A and B are shown apart, each in its own frame.
Chain A
Amino acid sequence: MAFFSFKRVPLAWLNLTHDRKKFATSLGGVAFAVLLMFVFTGFMNALYDSQVQVLNRLNGEVIVINRLKNNMFVPRSFARRRLYQVRAFDGVADAYPLYISDGNWKNPETKKSFAVRTLAFNLGDPVLDMPEVNEQISALQLPNTALIDTRARAEIGPTDAGIVSELAERELKIVGTFELGTDFAAGNGNLIMSDINFLRYFANRGPEEVNRSFATADVGVVKLTADASPEKVVTALQQALPNDVLVLTKEGPNGFVNRERTYWQENTSIGFVFTLLTTMSFFVGIILVYQILYTDVADHWAEYATLKAMGYSNLYLLGVVLQESIFLSVLGFIPGCIISYLLYTGAANATGLFFQMTSERVVNLFLATFVMCLVSGAIAVRKVQATDPAEVFGG
């Protein structure tokens, strides 16, 4: 017997869609479970992805940092002269300091202050691999100017060129914008300025703050010559330089970017919490779909038993229930995915976090949905198998 022949009466489909209202509710249930899974994995990935956004934009193959800076949140800097030492090594084309400091930015509209992160560098150094920033370098040469992150959180106010407000209680003029987004270390958003302007804001902040100077840098970005191997340079640098600095490749499994991601994965409960929530949504989905399928089998108990009496095998009925579960998984996934996409966009705008719906993640969640429906189908099928055709008689 061919169970999926197109000539057959599509019993699974007709049973599922017969009651439009019930069908819509069923799809809503599946879509809701899909939505939950998307939201939870979305937040988890957004939190991780966001942490490494700045690191990914660093224009170098090797990174030098203070050994104590085990994540971007630690405000430890290292002696800038280490970068001069680095420049002397074979394979190193150049080494640029990046200065990072937190400062309070005053929302020009509400006059309330919010912590933002300032990234600063010598305007002659191509420290960031961000074309939109590099195009606006000349504007940053003026005193008290900066670029602002358009994906900063809404609290810090409008993010447009021309705005004048205060950073660390000094006037600052916004001369342009860029797109980056927030992470844990960034606070509410990012500013980019020249190293000279950086000193204007952070060199003399008073007794309770760290006073910055050009003697220390936060991240050293090392540009290699085209033929140099990052791993070999890292080994050579680490051996020669004092132990106050740590030298890492930027990419790779032990690289700077991965180290940051791993830090947040291992030292926060983000992963645990969101994986737990995703798993719970998965099981909620199983229960929902099981209820739908079980109700269908229970409602049509006598009809299914009649089919058995007519000579249909358990295998056919199993096929009907599994087909129903497949229809539910596919048709419930589509609205769930679309609503999730809208929600991702909304959440990205509201939080400045980096919500990515990559095709890989969509496929993974579709597979999860599919498995979810199959598991429910497999449980519901037991009810059909237990159906005794002899019981339809009389009773």
Chain B
Amino acid sequence: MVSPAAEISTTPFAPELAIKIEHLNFYFGEGELKKQVLFDISLDLPQGQIVILTGPSGSGKTTLLTLIGALRTLKEGSLQVLGQEVVGLSNRALIPIRRNIGFIFQAHNLFESLTASQNVEMSVELTSHLSDKQQRAADMLSKLGLGDRIHYKPNALSGGQKQRVAIARAMVNHPKIILADEPTAALDKASGRDVVNLMRHLCETEGTTVLMVTHDNRILDVADRIINLVDGRLESDSNPETYKQSH
């Protein structure tokens, strides 16, 4: 642990930590082809923090995101998501962990056959709130300014609106963690800005931790903290102002 920002939160284990990573290594491939992509990552993310993960292509930032999202099995080090150890879990055991996390992708990945509301309801159906799922979906869509588009299918929505439906889907169950992968990459400047502001607003009110991978320099200022990953190692961990000065 070298970075000053990380030192602040280096308590043994604080319940207010959303994600705690210690000496995490990750490899792709097996045997001869085995290639290490993440080297000894240690990182603490407190609850309610908005963190941008940046770095050049192939630096392993998306891989780190999928690991935190419990989308891959892990063998080395320690990764605790909301207090639960992920390292060593089987694929099947990873599924319930995913339900506490909201995912937002570069592409909206909405079902063309479902309305905005139904796409969001797919997320609610993972919980036991089946009876008022439509109300929940409608509430979340309204918060994202799509109150009048609830029964539209994705075809009838603009790119920014589709991404906002995807955000509603990720946030409707009020997850403690949101993982976002280049959420603004497919959007123009104005709608990209719009989408990030909404995300920031919602996360602040709900105390959600956001970890966002992005190349988009236009949105760096929404972050509380910027982590730079180079060649699978943590390069720097700073706030947006310091980051902008140094890059």
Are the chains A and B members of one assembly? yes
Q: In the bound complex, do residue B107 and residue A310 qualify as a contact, i.e. CB atoms below 8 Å apart?
A: no
Stretch of A143-151, A177-185, A207-215, A299-307 at the chain-chain interface: A299-307
Q: Which residues of A contact B (CB under 8 A)?
A: 5, 7-9, 11, 14-15, 17-18, 300, 302-303, 305-307, 309-313, 388-390, 392-394
Q: Which residues of B contact A (CB under 8 A)?
A: 62, 65-66, 69, 71-72, 92, 95-96, 98-99, 103, 105-107, 109-114, 118, 121-123, 125-126, 130-131, 133, 169, 181-182, 213
Q: Which residues of the partner chain B approach A7 to less than 8 Å between Cβ atoms?
A: 130-131, 133
**Supplied contacts A311-B99, A393-B62, 8 more A-B pairs, CB within 8 Å:** A9-B122, A14-B113, A14-B114, A18-B113, A306-B103, A307-B122, A389-B98, A390-B69
Q: Which residue of A lies closest to B97 (CB)?
A: A311
Q: Which residues of the partner chain A approach B109 to less than 8 Å between Cβ atoms?
A: 302-303, 305-306, 392
Q: In the bound complex, do residue B72 and residue A390 qualify as a contact, i.e. CB atoms below 8 Å apart?
A: yes
Q: In the bound complex, do residue A9 and residue B125 qualify as a contact, i.e. CB atoms below 8 Å apart?
A: yes
Q: In the bound complex, do residue A311 and residue B114 qualify as a contact, i.e. CB atoms below 8 Å apart?
A: no
Q: In the complex the two chains form, what is the Cα distance from A8 to B131 in whole Å?
A: 10
* Residue contacts A-B, CB under 8 angstroms, 6 given: A14-B114, A14-B118, A310-B99, A393-B66, A393-B181, A394-B106
Q: Which residues of the partner chain A approach B96 to less than 8 Å between Cβ atoms?
A: 311
Specify which of A15, A307, A310, A394 is in contact with B113 (CB 8 Å cutoff): A15
Q: Which residue of A lies closest to B118 (CB)?
A: A9
Given A7-B133, A311-B99, is A306 in contact with B126 using a C-beta cutoff of 8 Å? no
Q: In the bound complex, do residue B105 and residue A392 qualify as a contact, i.e. CB atoms below 8 Å apart?
A: yes
Chain A nearest CB, measured from B119 CB (Å): 8
Q: In the bound complex, do residue B130 and residue A394 qualify as a contact, i.e. CB atoms below 8 Å apart?
A: no
Q: Which residue of B lies closest to A296 (CB)?
A: B113
Q: In the complex the two chains form, what is the Cα distance from A393 to B61 in whole Å?
A: 11
Q: Which residue of B lies closest to A7 (CB)?
A: B130
Q: In the complex the two chains form, what is the Cα distance from A14 to B119 in whole Å?
A: 12
Q: In the bound complex, do residue B71 and residue A303 qualify as a contact, i.e. CB atoms below 8 Å apart?
A: no
Specify which of B71, B118, B121 is in contact with A309 (CB 8 Å cutoff): B71
Specify which of A14, A309, A389, A393 is in contact with B111 (CB 8 Å cutoff): A14
Q: In the complex the two chains form, what is the Cα distance from A309 to B95 in whole Å?
A: 8
Q: In the complex the two chains form, what is the Cα distance from A311 to B71 in whole Å?
A: 10
Q: Which residues of the partner chain A approach B118 to less than 8 Å between Cβ atoms?
A: 9, 14
Q: Which residues of the partner chain B approach A313 to less than 8 Å between Cβ atoms?
A: 92, 95
Q: In the bound complex, do residue A311 and residue B95 qualify as a contact, i.e. CB atoms below 8 Å apart?
A: yes
Specify which of A5, A9, A302, A394 is in contact with B121 (CB 8 Å cutoff): A9
Q: In the bound complex, do residue B98 and residue A393 qualify as a contact, i.e. CB atoms below 8 Å apart?
A: no
Q: Which residues of the partner chain A approach B105 to less than 8 Å between Cβ atoms?
A: 302, 306, 392-393
Q: In the bound complex, do residue B99 and residue A389 qualify as a contact, i.e. CB atoms below 8 Å apart?
A: no
Q: In the complex the two chains form, what is the Cα distance from A388 to B112 in whole Å?
A: 21
Chain B nearest CB, measured from A346 CB (Å): 38
Q: In the complex the two chains form, what is the Cα distance from A208 to B65 in whole Å?
A: 95
Q: In the bound complex, do residue A389 and residue B123 qualify as a contact, i.e. CB atoms below 8 Å apart?
A: no
Q: Which residues of the partner chain B approach A310 to less than 8 Å between Cβ atoms?
A: 98-99, 103, 122-123, 126, 169
Chain B nearest CB, measured from A118 CB (Å): 65
Q: Which residue of A lies closest to B166 (CB)?
A: A306
Q: In the complex the two chains form, what is the Cα distance from A7 to B71 in whole Å?
A: 28
Q: Which residues of the partner chain A approach B71 to less than 8 Å between Cβ atoms?
A: 309, 388-390, 393
Q: In the bound complex, do residue A394 and residue B182 qualify as a contact, i.e. CB atoms below 8 Å apart?
A: yes
Q: Which residue of A lies closest to B124 (CB)?
A: A9
Q: Which residues of the partner chain B approach A300 to less than 8 Å between Cβ atoms?
A: 111
Q: In the complex the two chains form, what is the Cα distance from A309 to B178 in whole Å?
A: 12
